[in-house]
Amino acid sequence: MVLLAQLSDTHFDMGARNNERAERVMAFLAELPQRPDVIVVTGDIADEGEIEEYQQARAALVADVPVLILPGNHDDRGNMRTVLFEEASSYEPINQVFRADEVTLVLLDSSIPGKAEGLLAEETFEFLTTALAETAEDESVLVAMHHPPIPVQSTVTDPIRLTNPERLAEIVAGDDRILAVLTGHVHAGLMAQFAGKPLIVAPSVSSTIGCEWETARPGHVPIDFAPDPSLVFHSIKDGALLSMFRPIAMGGWLGEPLD
């Protein structure tokens, strides 16, 4: 079994609140009897893309397993690269591949520098195609990015979703190894269908945004800061995916295993 913990939309803003929530989630993961094989944070790491915000993120997103980070629309590729990847600043897409036992995770950069909506660039499609070509026939693949490729009844993020989903849909539909597409951006945990596969959107660590039926009038942003942070576990066992949404109580009890 491969166990992946997906966090999203931490929005580090140099304040205490979002930092404490991210630290709480990381502490929960560190205390698990069985550690995840990998932790992935699907974008909007920082709130304004500032260097200091990434320094705060670097201090909080620490684990004894790999922590993979991909950019969202609130992120700045250059500052992210400098602080979190310890590389020279560059605005090329940040695409990554992570291989665990029989599972390949492909992380695609769907951000557009300076814009809120998403796009998969030509070089990002080439990265995905190469990663799939280098993946064994009997492996499972998960594709992760920030922007959902379809509308999900969110008045806030639907207008700034992925703008070029067609080619990705063809690839996802045509490759039996791809089990699901994972995204963030919506600040709500949900499942939908994309190209005949599950599209799993992780809730945000920092806040919850209500969907269409919580929107009172055009322009209203139904944002709720009260709910606890939440994450999604993805377990891949014998080629089958199980995804479980897990809220983490703030200031609470780190659960003792029940005897």
Which positions touch Fe ion (CB under 5 A)?
9, 44, 72-73, 185
Instruction: Mark out the alpha helices in 35-147 (DSSP H runs).
Output: 51-60, 77-84, 122-133
d(CA 72, CA 75): 5
d(CA 191, CA 174): 20
Instruction: Indicate the residue among 9 and 37 with the shorter CB distance to Fe ion.
Output: 9
- The nearest distance, CB 2 to Fe ion, in angstroms, is 26
Instruction: Indicate the residue among 50 and 175 with the shorter CB distance to Fe ion.
Output: 50
Instruction: Indicate the residue among 163 and 235 with the shorter CB distance to Fe ion.
Output: 163
Q: Is 70 helix (H, G, I), strand (E, B) or coil?
A: strand
- The nearest distance, CB 160 to Fe ion, in angstroms, is 7
Instruction: Indicate the residue among 140 and 206 with the shorter CB distance to Fe ion.
Output: 206
- The nearest distance, CB 8 to Fe ion, in angstroms, is 7
Instruction: Indicate the residue among 100 and 160 with the shorter CB distance to Fe ion.
Output: 160
- The nearest distance, CB 256 to Fe ion, in angstroms, is 33
Strand 178-183 to strand 96-100: parallel, antiparallel, or no bridges (unpaired)?
unpaired
- The nearest distance, CB 87 to Fe ion, in angstroms, is 23
Q: 153-158 long-range contacts, Cβ below 8 Å, gap at least 24?
A: 153/211, 153/212, 153/213, 154/186, 154/188, 154/209, 154/211, 154/212, 155/211, 155/212, 155/215, 155/218, 155/220, 155/222, 156/186, 156/187, 156/209, 156/221, 156/222, 156/223, 157/185, 157/186, 157/187, 157/209
- Select the residue whose beta carbon is closest to Fe ion and give its number: 44
- The nearest distance, CB 187 to Fe ion, in angstroms, is 6
Instruction: Indicate the residue among 29 and 162 with the shorter CB distance to Fe ion.
Output: 162
Characterize 29-39 residue by residue with b for buried, 16 or more Cβ atoms within 10 angstroms of its Cβ, and e for exposed. Answer: beeeeeebbbb
